């Protein structure tokens, strides 16, 4: 009985992926026409599998410290930028992780990087931000 369910969901998953490709192709074709207008800037989206890391924010009075759990982090790949009170972080993995072993639902999915957008309780001063990385934990100190 479960084999029939597995086959059904495999067929459904293949059909959904095919529909996603067709939709993406239709949008790309539709937006190609806009590229001829000089005021329009086209940006081709990057499709990759990412994972949102766990994080903790500690308020220490004159500063906040954000601890982000990034196991398998590729050293030197952490990128942090600020937009108002939101901190955007991305970091690459040393090697991609296949999620097949964790669940059949994630069959064929590989994770290549971490990405997160974290709302901060203060207005950050990017020039005073300090970043430390140790054993898969990134510590970001943001002064008020």
Residues 6+ apart with CB under 8 A from 109: 49, 98, 99, 100
User: In this predicted model, what pLDDT tens digit does every residue of 56-108 receive, in sequence order?
Assistant: 999 998 899 999 999 988 988 999 999 999 999 999 999 988 877 777 777 77
14-44 pLDDT tens trace: 888 888 888 888 877 776 665 554 444 444 4
CA 33, CA 72: separation in Å to the nearest integer?
Answer: 42
Domain 50-143, CATH 3.40.50.970 — does that match? Answer: no
Beta carbons of 48 and 113 less than 8 angstroms apart: yes
- pTM of the complete model: 0.62
Residue 105: CA count within 13 A, CB half-sphere: 2
Q: Domain map of the chain by residue range? A: 2-36, 50-143
């Amino acid at each position: 009985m479960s084999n029939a369910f597995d086959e059904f969901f495999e067929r459904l998953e293949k059909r959904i992926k095919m529909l996603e490709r067709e939709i993406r192709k239709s949008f790309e074709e539709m937006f190609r026409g806009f590229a001829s207008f000089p005021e329009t800037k086209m940006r081709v989206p990057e499709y990759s599998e990412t994972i949102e890391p766990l994080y903790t924010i500690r308020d220490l009075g004159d500063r906040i410290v954000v601890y982000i759990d990034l196991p398998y982090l590729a050293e030197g790949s952490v990128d942090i930028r600020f937009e108002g009170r939101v901190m955007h972080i991305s970091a690459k993995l040393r090697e991609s992780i296949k999620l097949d072993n964790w669940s059949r639902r994630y069959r064929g999915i590989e994770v290549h990087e971490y990405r997160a957008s974290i709302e901060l309780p203060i207005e950050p001063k990017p020039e005073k931000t300090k970043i430390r990385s140790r054993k898969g934990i990134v510590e970001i100190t943001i002064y008020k």
